[in-house]
Amino acid sequence: MHIHHIAIAVNDLEGALQFYRDALGLEVTERTEVPVEGVEIACLPMGESEIELLRPLDPENSIGKFIEKRGEGIHHICVLVEDIESAVAQLEAQGARMTGEIRTRDNGTRYVFVHPKSTRGVLMELYQKP
């Protein structure tokens, strides 16, 4: 396992890119809308991990409400796993709660979120690449 990405919720993706891309010099390797999650994302690799900027497509969705309640900032930490079903089973056997079912992105990546009450207040995403 290793950290795949740290997701940062932002209101203004272009404004955020002025810092992460322009000031830090990170390259944007992916920029896309993910309608099922209601966000536009920009991915910027840093070594073996990356920064994922999340802009809500609707201020009333979960990311929009997160920003309204807590302000812009770290939304979740994503951990890359080899077998997502095994990882979920292991966590649930230890009493952890998931926020929903395992989902699959268009590119085949499978993911699920671990409820922050199980992780001492940090939303954690488990990620399995195809």
Give the chain's mean pLDDT.
96
Residue 105 reports pLDDT greater than 90? no
3-class DSSP assignment, residue 15? helix
Report residue 36's pLDDT band, with 50, 70 and 90 as the boundaries. Answer: confident
Q: What is the pLDDT of residues 40-58, one digit of tens each?
A: 999 999 999 999 999 999 9
**pLDDT above 90 for 1:** no
Rounded to an integer, the average pLDDT of 91-104 is 96
* Beta strand pairing call for 39-46 and 103-104: unpaired
Question: Strand order in 73-80's β-sheet?
Answer: 30-34, 39-46, 49-56, 2-9, 73-80, 124-128, 110-114, 103-104
Distance of CA 27 to the CA centre of its chain: 18
The domain segmentation of the chain, as residue ranges, is: 1-75, 81-130
pLDDT at 93: 97
Domains 1-75 and 81-130 are alike in CATH topology: yes
- Average pLDDT of span 67-77: 97
- Render pLDDT for 119-129 as a digit per residue (tens, 0 to 9): 999 999 999 99
d(CA 31, CA 61): 19
Question: In 3D, which of 70, 8, 65 has the Cα closest to residue 41?
Answer: 8
Give domain 81-130's CATH number out of 3.10.180.10, 1.10.287.70, 3.40.50.300, 3.40.50.1400.
Answer: 3.10.180.10
pLDDT over threshold 90, residue 109: yes
Query: What's the rounded mean pLDDT across residues 9-16?
Result: 97
Here the tokens at position 110 are 């499978």
Q: How many residues does the chain have?
A: 130
**% of the chain with per-residue pLDDT over 90:** 94
Write the CB contacts of 61 (distance below 8 Å, at least 6 apart in sequence): 38, 39
Which tokens in the block code for residue 79? 């951990």
CATH 3.10.180.10 fits 1-75, yes or no: yes
